[in-house]
Structure 1
Amino acid sequence: MSKVKYYYDPDTLSYRKIEPKKTKRFRNIALFILGSFLFGLLSLVLLLNTNLINTPRELSLQREVKNYELQFELLNKKMEQIEDVLANVEDRDNNIYRLYFEANPIPDEQRRAGFGGVNRYKALEGFNNSEMVIATTKRMDIIKKQLAIQSKSLDEITKLAEEKEKLLAAIPAIQPVNNEDLTRMASGYGWRTDPFTKARKKHWGMDFTAPKGTPIYASGDGTVTRADNNSSGYGKHIRIDHGYGYLSLYAHMSQYNVKKGQKVKRGDLIGFVGNTGRSQGPHLHYEVWKDNERINPINFYYGSLTPEEFKNMLKYANQENQSLD
């Protein structure tokens, strides 16, 4: 029940009832409605910007965002594991593989370098989780770059390994005449007495005494560059170019089993012991060349002799005696 208001009338000396005007009443009603609307609108805006009231769509989006954040955490953990494995591979690459094959290690600055120039992550800016997304993306890009560098490095190591394998097969590393076929190891590399002039003369190879017709084997992979009797003193002889600066020579042979231009493998039968050229008896004169310099062949028999056999050969090779050519 609305209150009735009165006012004192001094003319009649009595209280008179106040009759509200209709315009004022309508104005009050309008102000009340407007105030209620504004209050309701403000309350709605406040509620929509808080977590007190969420629409089903907003709840669904919030769940998606939390799921994405969880996925990013899992992704970062996986990247940590990948980085650990990659760091281990890089360490072995630098300190084992590249060291073994005499290749320069790849510096960490090159492996872990970032990306300069244009901002690659501008499209990821301006979101609530931009920092996390950008940091994860940068991390992934660096891992991808490290993997690319490591892949190229392993390709290089593979090529070096193949080349190393060829080098090891090419080095003249076995004795050209089997031990059981030898009569004796007549003379080694160094100063020896010439059998014809009796003067001291540098003997540039090793002499293996064996019966005529004893098999002679290639001491390493290579290509036959000569198989002829056109070099003074050597008689029938063969020269094999092994590559990498190595060459082996087999002299005083009785006959050949290969011809010029033929490719041979270590252990292939290339000819037979003889007594041709400047020779005092059936034997094989064997030389090893490196970069056009004759070197001591005894340093290359690791592929066919036992330690005891090598010790005995070293003993006989170092004796000051008379050579057979």
Structure 2
Amino acid sequence: MSKVKYYYDPDTLSYRKIEPKKSKKYRNIGLFFLGSMLFGLLGLTILLNTDILNTPKELSLQREVKNYELQFELLNKKMGQMEQVLANIEDRDNNIYRLYFEANPIPEEQRRAGFGGINRYKSLEGFNNSEMIIETTKQMDIIQKQMVIQSKSLDEITKLAEEKEELLAAIPAIQPINNEELTRMASGYGWRSDPFTKARKMHWGMDFTAPKGTPIYASGDGKVTRADNNSSGYGKHIRVDHGYGYMTLYAHLSKYNVKPGQKVKRGDLIGFVGSTGRSEAPHLHYEVFKDGERINPINFYYGSLTAKEFENMLKYANQENQSLD
């Protein structure tokens, strides 16, 4: 029950009842409702930001979402570490492996290229954590692409390494007659006096003087293409195709130790010194071809001679003496 208030009226010398104004009454009612609304809104805000009204299932889902956010953060850190390792591999690939095998480095823009065209991540849009999920997915896609490029590069390097190993084995790199069995290096590559006509003419190989029957060895891996007496002047001779444009010829043999079509390794015994064909004395006439052109064999003895032996050979090979064929 509301209190009734009175005031003293001096004119009537009596107490009169105070009648409240209607506007004030309405204002009080309005303030009451406004205060009630503000209090209710504040209470609702507090409730919505606490777990008081959440069901156990909702609380479980919230914990799961927070756990996923933590896992995404850890995943991003791991991918950052992967990118560092991959960048180191890419650097070594470009500046060591590909450089060594004379392959062009893979451009940085090719390694780091993104994905053009349609929006690959449209299905991930519209969620609370869409931005985080999309960025993580993009990072994973780029790393995956970099790994594919790097894997292909290493496959290429492996193939180049195998080919280089085969090339090094194929190059005619040893002297075809052992020094212990060699009488002397009779004549080198260049202009020499012909033993029969005495005219000055080009000598396309090197002559190694040795007794008849001295073993002759293949100077590199390859395949015997000829072992016959059907080439003018060479007498019994052998030709070995080493691949990669290289071929060697061994002439004036007394007999063969190989047949056409046979594969040989560097150092294999292929024949014996003789004096067949256009020859003045027992010796081996040795030629090296590259892409069909005769080249100086003296540049290919790094596999069997010491520095002193090579120096002596170079000295005799450069003498413009008389050849033996």
Partner residue of 2:320?
320
Is 1:211–1:282's contact at 8 Å kept on the other side of the alignment? yes
Q: Do structure 1's residue 121 and structure 2's residue 101 form an aligned pair? A: no
Mapped to 2, the partners of 1:235 and 1:268 lie a distance apart of: 21
Partner residue of 1:53?
52
Partner residue of 2:10?
none
Q: Deviations over 1:64-113 (max 9, x none)?
A: 23322222222122111111111111111112211222211111111111
Is 2:253–2:275's contact at 8 Å kept on the other side of the alignment? yes
Partner residue of 1:300?
300
Is 2:95–2:105's contact at 8 Å kept on the other side of the alignment? yes
TM (norm. structure 2) is 0.86
Note the C-alpha offset of 1:184.
Answer: 0.6
Mapped to 1, the partners of 2:65 and 2:317 lie a distance apart of: 83
Mapped to 1, the partners of 2:293 and 2:2 lie a distance apart of: 130
Structure 1 residue ranges, 4+ long, deviating more than 4 angstroms after superposition: 3-6, 37-45
Mapped to 2, the partners of 1:39 and 1:113 lie a distance apart of: 56
Mapped to 1, the partners of 2:131 and 2:63 lie a distance apart of: 20
Partner residue of 2:9?
none
Partner residue of 2:200?
200
Is 1:217–1:266's contact at 8 Å kept on the other side of the alignment? yes
Report 1:226-241 matches (<5 A).
226-241=226-241
Mapped to 1, the partners of 2:4 and 2:209 lie a distance apart of: 148
Q: Deviations over 1:232-256 (max 9, x none)?
A: 1100000011111111000000000
Is 1:47–1:53's contact at 8 Å kept on the other side of the alignment? no
Number of equivalenced pairs? 304
Mapped to 1, the partners of 2:272 and 2:316 lie a distance apart of: 23
Measured on the aligned residues, the alpha-carbon RMSD in Å equals 2.7
Structure 2 unpaired stretches of 5+: 6-15, 17-32
Mapped to 2, the partners of 1:220 and 1:189 lie a distance apart of: 20
SS at match of 1:150: helix
Report 1:19-168 matches (<5 A).
45-51=44-50, 53=52, 55=54, 56-168=56-168
Structure 1 unpaired stretches of 5+: 7-14, 16-33
Partner residue of 2:243?
243
Report 1:140-289 matches (<5 A).
140-289=140-289
Mapped to 2, the partners of 1:127 and 1:222 lie a distance apart of: 67
The AA in structure 2 aligned to 1:261 is G
Partner residue of 1:22?
none
Note the C-alpha offset of 1:39.
Answer: 8.9
Mapped to 1, the partners of 2:237 and 2:3 lie a distance apart of: 143
Mapped to 1, the partners of 2:321 and 2:53 lie a distance apart of: 106
SS at match of 2:174: coil
Query: In the superposition, relative to structure 1, how do residues 88 and 163 fare at CA in structure 2: closer, same or farther (>3 Å)?
Result: same
Mapped to 2, the partners of 1:121 and 1:44 lie a distance apart of: 40
TM (norm. structure 1) is 0.86
Identity of aligned residues (%): 80
Is 2:217–2:270's contact at 8 Å kept on the other side of the alignment? yes
Is 1:237–1:253's contact at 8 Å kept on the other side of the alignment? yes
Note the C-alpha offset of 1:290.
Answer: 0.6
